[in-house]
Structure formats: structure tokens, C-alpha cells
Amino acid sequence: MKSKKHIIRRPTTSSSDLNCKLSPVLQQVYAARGALNDESLDYSLAKLHPISALKGIDGAVQLLVQALLEKQHILIVADFDADGATSCAVGLRALRLMGAARVSYLVPNRFEYGYGLTPEIVALAKQQLPDLIVTVDNGISSIEGVNAARAAGINVLVTDHHLPGDELPAANAIVNPNQPDDHFPSKNLAGVGVIFYLMLALRLSLRESGWFTQQGIAEPNLTKLLDLVALGTVADVVPLDHNNRILVSQGLARIRNGACCAGISALLDVAKRQPGNIVASDLGFAVGPRLNAAGRLEDMSLGIECLLTDDPDAAKVLARRLDEINRERREIESEMQVQALDCVANIKLDFNNKRAPVGLCLFDERWHQGVVGIVASRIKERYHRPVIAFALANAESAAEEGAEIKGSARSIKGVHMRDLLDAIATRHPGLVTKFGGHAMAAGMTLKAVDLKVFEAAFNEALHGCVDDEILKDDIHSDGELKDSELTLELAEELRAAGPWGQAFPEPLFDGEFDVVQQRIVGEKHLKLLLQPKGSRSTIDAIAFNHGKLAGDQLHAAYRLDVNEYQGRRTAQLMVEYIEPR
């Protein structure tokens, strides 16, 4: 059965030093998220954490300076998601602006080579005769690949943000805020944030050495790349701590002012978003998925080229193709989700029964390897359980002995997925061939014949670290809005007050309503006219992917947002959860 949600109101905070010009509602929202003074909302670039705090930054800069001085061939090896694509675009654009004579990129096709700097990717890279390989959004677990590159006489600079294993790769330099003994205050940088910091450090070194004057080139304004940094940061769903909110806020400001790259502009256009009033969620739900679709179904080179071109017409062509691929991805995902729900319907979820699964391991030979991560996420959201969805690593080898499957995991708060996989790999040597990732998301490879053994080990590990509290599916509300607060003015203030995102969630409220009208729109969305309890006024609302209600009263958790229709702006409730009364 679907997870039963519990609406919990955040505690009110009376002590804060926020700007008194903010509405009381927004002041309370900020305070509930730990933003208790104006400094915590200062998103100027001067408030970014210092570059020097990143371990390995000096050695990384030296490698790049040497490459520029000697006109070496720099090859960027990227990941095949939105963070990897934006990281690649930031690295390429910045290096070219700083006078790199030869710089190119290579992004692995996930279906042929898998993730990271593998020995196979190094063999492919060698054909381009690079002097220096720079990984972006990958590399921290590429032990064998880095060894292969170094053995071939290629220097390697790893830039990554994923959690490292017990052994670090023998790269010439590593920049990763999560590596041991790194004292960078924020461990939440996305891959694109890491490479952006490195490019800032490189520019500083080149400025001090007189490089730009010697080469007769203008010192680049790297803030021009912040639109890409914002996109990659939001799309990778990293926690929006203060440092990341600065990066995202600055990038959004550039997009709103029409100063973004042609590719992002074109992607916003096909997604029917207006750049002038874009917010972080538009990057996460409209632009990011279209960029990710290329890496999920085809080749992320298409997405990277879209972000690299300065030709608006070329960008439009690429964006339309990415939109087509995303539509195809949605169709595949929809079919897979139905199959996954059928599978879960036959599983009895009972935490008190030690034999019953805590998490879900789902596998179907028909599933698409590039889409299993989305399916895992959808099932996790529905059942509030850690979920791993598996697909065949190679559909043609399904019947072969030793066939591999690749899994994409999504977790819930309180269950650190990467650490859980590490514990399983330690207790069961050889069971997991490869793994890596974050607390909330991870990937792994194992043999198809070992799936049942892995599933048992997975749930055994979960029983050891999960309790009833963790499995409660709580919705955290900022309280009830008064009738007089359900206004367009407050909706606009809340919308502009972000950037909202992971670990700094968009304001969510709850309250009791009478249902005045209801109808289905777009075949599967519930359009409502609601009347707050005890009020004579009404407000429009919409609940996506929700059927008609049987009763005429409800308790709803909702976001107060702005609805634009035919040039008219009105307040609207975006209903996240409904409890019929």
C-alpha cells in the first residue's frame, strides 16, 4: 500500500535578526530553515567560501598552468548527467577563455563504458593523444582508470564531489571537498561547483603571473559561467547550503537578465519557461530533465554541445532534439513505473516482520538502464522506503552466464546509501562489483545471479540501521496561512525569496478547506476551487496526478504560488498532499 503521510508543523522561531521589511510569514519560513539573520541571506559573490580552503587546489592549478605554458592537449572526461554536462561546459569554456591552445572533451556512453574514468575510457582517450586528463563530476573512485592513464604517460587531474572509498586514485592532483583532510567548509558542492572553483583559482594564478598581458588576451569574467553552475547544482539535487545558494542565486540572476548561454536559453524556450521570472525549480524540473535525457537514452555529447554553442539557431536545434528525447524518456519511464508498481504490489512491507523487506530491490529484464534511477525515485516517493531498481547491463547478454545488472538507488533521510553499500561490500566480498555515490543516491553493478543474495544482504543491513521513526513519511509544514495571507503579493514574495531546493525547502503550508468545485484537467490532474474553513473567500488550487475526491472537505499540504494565464497573474495553491475529511 502507498505510504501514509504525516503532516508535522515546523516549530515557530521567535528570535531572529532578519530584515523587518520581509513579511512575517517569510521571516518565519527563513528562521525555520536556520536563516536567522541578513548575513545568511546575503548571496553576493564576496560571501563565497575561500578557494584556498580546498585541498589539492594548488597542485591542480600547477598542472593546468603547465599545460597552458606548454600548449598541452587537455582532455576533459565528463559524467553523463546534467552535473557532468555543465561541469564539462564550464571547464571547456573557462580554459578556452584563458588561452588554452588545445582543449577537448570525452563523455562515456553509459551503455558501452559505464561510469567514470575506466581503463576502457582511457584506451579511448589515448586515441586523442592527450597530455592531461581532467575528470569532472567523476574520478574519485577510478583507481584502475587513473593507473592506466598514468602508465600511458598521461597526467590526471581529478575533480569530483562524490564520496571517496578507502583508497584514493593515484592522480597527479585531486580536488574534491569530500576527500580526507579537506577543510573546505561546504561538503555540498556539486561537480560543477568544484570545477568552477578550480577555474577561479587558475585565473588568479594566471593573473598574478602576468599571463593575460603576455598573451594579449582579456582576463575572463568567469561570472558569465554561473548560469551553468546554477543549472548543474540544482539538477544534481545537492543540499543548498549558503555557499550553494550563492552560486544558484547568482546564476539565476544572469538568466533572468538575459545573460545566459544560448543552450540554456533554448532549453527554457522548449520547456515554455520565461527567463525573466525563472526560479530554481524551473532548472530542476524543466531544464535539467531535458539535459539528462540525452545521457539516459543516447549520448550526453548532444547535451554538452547544446551548452557549448554560442549560435542561438544551433542551440534551438539541439534543444528541440533534447526535448524529443525527453518525451521518449517519459514514455519509457511511464511503462516501467507501471511494471514496478505491479512488482511492489506483491511484496508485503511490514517492518515488525524481520523476514519482510525494509527496502525494495526491483528488477525486470525489459527495463532501460538509463531510466531505472527515475523509477527508483518514483517508487521511493510513493512508499518512503530505500529503493534500488536494476536493469541488465547488456540486454544482449541476458542469458549468458555471468551477465551483469546495474542498479540505481534512491534513499530516504536517515539511510546513507553509499555507506550502506560499503558495509554490504565489506561483509560480502565480491558480491558488489562496483558502487559509488552519495547519501541519497548511488549506483552499483553486480552479477544477475547474485541479485537474491544481494537483496537479502541489503535488507539485513537496513534492519540494522532503520527504525519506525525513519520509516515515517513526514511532511514538514510551515503552518497554516490566514485567509488574508492567501494573496498574490505573498505568493510573489515567496517565489522570489529562494533559491529553494534540497535542505532549504520551498515553503509548504497546510490547512482545512471546503471543496467548492473540482474537475479533471489534462486527463490526470485535479483542478480545485477551495474555500478556507470559516471563510467566504475562495482560491484556485491544483493537485497533479490526483483523481477526483469523494467528499467535499479536505486537509491539504500546499505551496502558495503564482499562476499566469493569458497575461493574468493570480495566487494559486499547488497541492502536494490531500487528506479527505
Kind of pairing, strands 387-392 and 360-363? parallel
Query: In 10 A of CB 193, how many CB atoms?
Result: 29
- Summarised one tens digit per residue, pLDDT across range 112-122 is 777 789 999 99
CATH code linked to domain 347-471: 3.10.310.30
Per-residue pLDDT of 190-222, as tens digits, reads 999 999 999 999 999 999 999 999 999 999 999
* C-alpha triplet 154, 155, 157: angle, nearest 5°: 135
pLDDT band at 351; cut points 50, 70, 90: low
* 539-543/360-363 β-pairing: unpaired
Mean pLDDT of 478-491: 95
Q: Which secondary-structure segment (H or E) carries 145?
A: helix 143-151
Q: Exposed (0-12), middle (13-18) or buried (19+): which is 23, by Cβ within 10 Å? A: middle
The C-alpha atoms of residue 41 and residue 236 are separated, in whole angstroms, by 22
Strand 404-410 to 387-392 pairing:
antiparallel
Residue 571 has pLDDT above 80, yes or no: yes
Position 540 confidence tier, pLDDT thresholds 50, 70, 90: very high
The whole-number pLDDT of residue 434 equals: 87
Query: Which of the four pLDDT bands, split at 50, 70 and 90, describes residue 522?
Result: confident
Largest Cα–Cα separation, the chain: 76
Q: What was the pLDDT predicted at 1?
A: 45
Q: How many helices (H) and strands (E) does the chain have?
A: 19, 17
The Cα–Cα gap between 325 and 549 comes to 35
| Model confidence at 232: pLDDT above 50 | yes
* 3-class state of residue 519 by DSSP: strand
- Residue 470 has a pLDDT of 87
Task: Encode pLDDT of 149-167 as tens digits.
Answer: 999 999 999 999 998 988 9
| Stretch among 139-143, 232-236, 436-440 having the lowest mean pLDDT | 436-440
What is the average pLDDT value for the chain, to the nearest integer?
93
Q: Which residue has the cell 488574508?
A: 484
pLDDT in tens, 48-79: 999 999 999 999 999 999 999 999 999 999 99
Secondary structure letter of residue 316 according to DSSP: H
| 129 φ/ψ sector (left φ>0, alpha ψ -120 to 50, else beta) | left
Q: How far apart (Å, rounded) are the C-alpha atoms in residues 83 and 237?
A: 10
pLDDT tens string 378-423: 999 999 999 999 999 887 666 567 789 999 999 999 999 999 999 9
Q: Write down the residue that cell numbers 571547464 correspond to.
A: 91
Please check the confidence at residue 469 and state whether its pLDDT lies above 90: no
| Overall CATH class of domain 49-323 | alpha beta
- The residue type at 427: R
pLDDT of residue 354 exceeding 70, the answer is no
pLDDT of 5-46, one tens digit each? 889 999 887 667 787 789 999 999 999 999 989 999 999 999
Q: Give domain limits for the chain.
A: 5-35+475-580, 49-323, 347-471
- The predicted model gives 320-340 an average pLDDT of 95
Of the candidates 272, 269, 333, which has an alpha carbon nearest to the alpha carbon of residue 297?
Answer: 333
Contacts of 121 (CB under 8 A, 6+ apart): 77, 106, 108, 113, 145
Structural domain 5-35+475-580, CATH architecture:
Beta Barrel (2.40)
